[in-house]
Amino acid sequence: MRKIFFIISAFVLITGIVELTAQDKAHKIDEFIQKMVEYNSFTGSALAADNREIIFQKGYSFANREWNIPNDIDTKFRLGSITKQFTAAIILKLREEGKLKLEDKITDHIPYYRKDTGEIVSIHQLLIHTSGIPSYTSHPDFFGKDSKKDYNVEEFVKQYCMGDFDFEPGTDWAYNNSGYYLLGVIIEEITGMTYAEALQHYILDPLEMNETGFDKFEEIIPNRADGYSKLFLQFTNAAYINMELPYAAGSMYSTVGDLFKWDQALYEPGLLSQESLDLFFTPHVEAMGGHYGYGWSISEKDIDGDGEVEKIISHGGGINGFNTLISRIPEKGQLIVLLNNAGGAPLGFMSNQIYNILNGLDFDYPKKGISLALYEKYVDEGIDEALNYYSKLKESDQLDLFYRDRAEFNSLGYYLIESKNNISAALKVFELNMNEYPDWYNAYDSYAEALMKMGNNEKAIEYYKKSVDMNPGNQNGIDKLKKLGVEYKKEFVVSEGILNEYVGKYELAPNFILTVRHEAGQLYVQATGQPEFSVYPSDESNFYYTVVDAQIKFGRNEEGEVNNLTLYQGGREISGKKIE
């Protein structure tokens, strides 16, 4: 079963040294990104600035794989949630013009919005994700079917942005695309313009950001990159989404160069007044292990180890086939822009290493994936020699020279099936994965699938049952067993009292928190910047997701109090303390 979903991208690393000159920094950044490309981990455009000067910008791999058109510095990428900071800036411009107040409520500007909730939620709360309104991206129908439909703005608000509160406004924080959608509607209601027109009028034209705009599928947009999904070495076109639906929360496109113009406009008053700039970058609310401003995440870090803490102002974005990042350290005049058009690139890891390069520190190269090394051996010498090569590496303690990931092993197996039509080779890869990761249910599921494809149904049933025993939420295994004539399901019930003990927030990394809540016998978990999902027990302390390939385990201290959580995903174990 393939379920590829990254909550945290992590690399095992090796170290390199950088020099201090701008030219050498640029060379090191290029060398670093070339390794990411070589290992199939980045495809897009990148820019780095130091002391407010661009020292590096370049495109990598392809904007269009059907015509082999390369990415370049003028390639236009969908930005996803980077759009939010532009929406916030327009709101601040309207405040400067006296057309709204941050204390205004939704119903002050959207006449058709429901009164009972709209008279409570303020614009300020929409800007900082404390409104309590459910996010439309958390709705179970949105990505499955409705993201492809046509809605006008009012229809979409009534369908997706007027739900009952998840929490009382101002009492909690939850990343919320509906909130920024509503800010776009408020902009339209006040200005009489469409959101795209207001964006052009208030920001893009004044800054001469001529390569930036509101993405519409039907329009011809020169140099627009296509978005792709990736399975090991295989790229496919990303699933279609109606780009007018992300709207003020995520519908923009831009280039690395135009985002540098945007960055430069935020250093001093001009586009925005000093008061607006202060509001823009004020850490209004604790969130994601740091704080949230207006459309920006704000954290602090001693970048160069000199004892002085710098403020890092950043935001990422993700939308079908794309993931993006803009990150600024204003005190140093540093900017990193990473725009990727194959989804899922580890942009946080990349930006951290590029900051290290900019500041003359040790930095980490990515390691070559062991699954890629095995595939290269398979191409040259066949699957048996590839597996023999793995055994020799393991016997000589050399596996640590490679990046290892159980999900990548799985991807290699499916790639051998789908691209090479070699089920027997895939079966051996799945068997290796099962032996190396015996506690991972999906390894057994994939092995069973390969057995089923080879017609060995009896053995497939055996391994599907093992998979479901390990993860009772493995619906794929349950469905396949049913197809094989076996009704099989395992359930476990945890008491309400124990579920209540698990409720809280767990910090797994800076700027990354899992929020756990309990309602009517069901546990829900929401990761920073992602939808909320139900999790189900396999025993009293272990829970599994059904929509993503991940499990969580709650831990207790010596007094028996729940004080930590471990996330198992993508071959990684990531632990975090309970912070509230």
pLDDT grade, residue 551 (50/70/90)?
Answer: confident
DSSP letter at 122 equals B
Query: How many separate domains does the chain show?
Result: 3
| Residues 163, 111 share a domain | yes
Q: Does residue 335 sit within a domain?
A: yes
**Structure confidence at residue 19 (pLDDT):** 41
| Most confident of the following: 33-37, 503-507, 548-552 | 33-37
Task: Please say which residue of 342, 361, 380 terminates a domain.
Answer: 361
Flag whether 550 is in a domain. yes
What is the full DSSP assignment across 60-105? -SEEETTTTEEP-TT-BEE-GGGHHHHHHHHHHHHHHTTS--TT-B
Could you tell me if residue 26 is inside a domain?
no
Task: Residue 207: give the domain boundaries.
Answer: 77-361
Q: Do 477 and 501 fall within a single domain? A: no
- Taking residues 99-103, report their average pLDDT: 98
On whether residue 516 sits in a domain, the answer given is yes
What pLDDT sits at residue 16?
41
pLDDT for 417: 95
- Residue 529's pLDDT is 65
Q: How confident is the model at residue 427 (pLDDT cuts 50, 70, 90)?
A: very high
Greater confidence (491 vs 8) lies with 491
Could you report the per-residue pLDDT of 10-45, keeping only the tens digit for each?
333 334 433 468 999 999 999 999 999 999 999 999
- The confidence score (pLDDT) of residue 439 equals 84
If asked whether residues 292 and 411 sit together in one domain, one would say: no
Residue 470: CATH number of its domain? 1.25.40.10
Residue 570: which pLDDT band, with cuts at 50, 70 and 90?
low
Same domain, 173 and 300: yes
Q: Are residues 448 and 555 in the same domain?
A: no
Q: Read off φ and ψ for residue 152, nearest 5 degrees.
A: -85, 170
352 & 242 share domain? yes
CATH number of the domain residue 231 falls in: 3.40.710.10
Task: Say if 19 falls within a structural domain.
Answer: no
pLDDT score of 20: 61
Task: Compute the residue count for the chain.
Answer: 580
Q: Does 423 reside within a domain?
A: yes
- More confident of the two residues 358 and 533: 358
d(CA 522, CA 535): 8
User: Among 448, 483, 518, which residue terminates a domain?
Assistant: 483
In a shared domain, residues 398 and 536: no
Query: pLDDT for 227-236, tens place per residue?
Result: 999 888 889 9
Residues 309, 341: one domain? yes
pLDDT of residue 415: 94
What are the strands of the beta sheet with 213-214, ordered from one edge?
77-78, 252-254, 213-214
Residue 395: which pLDDT band, with cuts at 50, 70 and 90?
very high
Q: How confident is the model at residue 4 (pLDDT cuts 50, 70, 90)?
A: very low
pLDDT in tens, 462-471: 999 999 888 8
Q: What does the pLDDT read at residue 3?
A: 41
How do residues 164-173 score in pLDDT, each as one tens digit? 998 999 999 9
For residue 249, what are the contacts with CB-CB under 8 A and spacing of at least 6?
A: 81, 83, 84, 87, 177, 178, 179, 180, 181, 184
Of the chain, the end-to-end C-alpha distance in Å amounts to: 35
- Helix (H/G/I), strand (E/B), else coil: 256: helix
CA proximity to 241, closest of 163, 154, 325, 137: 137
Residue 5 pLDDT grade (very low, low, confident, very high; cuts 50, 70, 90): very low
Strand intervals (E) in 95-200:
none
Q: Given this model, what pLDDT does residue 1 score?
A: 54
Strands 542-545 and 532-537: antiparallel
Angle between helices 475-483 and 457-470 (to 10 degrees): 150
How big is the chain by its Cα radius of gyration, in Å? 24
pLDDT tens, position by position, 54-97:
999 999 999 999 999 999 999 999 999 999 999 999 999 999 99
Whether residues 97 and 150 fall in one domain: yes
| Residue 201 domain flag | yes
Asked whether residue 475 falls in the same domain as residue 512, the answer is no
Q: Are 320 and 80 in contact (CB under 8 A)?
A: no
Tell me the average pLDDT across 516-531: 86
pLDDT at 205 over 90: yes
Taking residue 385's Cβ as centre, other Cβ atoms within 10 Å add up to 13
Q: Report the 3 state secondary structure along 412-433.
A: HHHHHHHCCCCHHHHHHHHHHH
- What's the confidence (pLDDT) of residue 7? 32
- pLDDT value of residue 571: 59
Instruction: Tell me if 409 is assigned to some domain.
Output: yes
Q: What mean pLDDT comes out for the span 259-269?
A: 98
Cβ–Cβ under 8 Å, residues 254 and 79: yes
Q: Residue 511: its pLDDT value, please?
A: 67
Beta bridge partners of 198: none
SS3 83: helix
Q: What percent of the chain has pLDDT over 90?
A: 75
Eight-state DSSP code of residue 204: I
What mean pLDDT value characterizes the chain?
A: 91
- Regarding whether 434 and 334 lie in a shared domain, the answer is no
Output the pLDDT for position 512.
77
pLDDT digits (tens, 9 = 90+) for 274-296: 999 999 999 999 987 899 999 99
Q: How far apart are CA 500 and CA 364, in angstroms?
A: 41
For range 197-202, the mean pLDDT: 98
Residue 12: predicted pLDDT: 35
Q: What is the DSSP letter of 369?
A: B
Same domain as 268, residue 138 = yes
**Boundary (domain end) residue, out of 451, 483, 515:** 483
On whether the CB atoms of residues 260 and 212 are closer than 8 A, the answer is no
Using CA atoms in the order 245, 248, 250, 251, what is the torsion angle rounded to 10 degrees?
A: 60
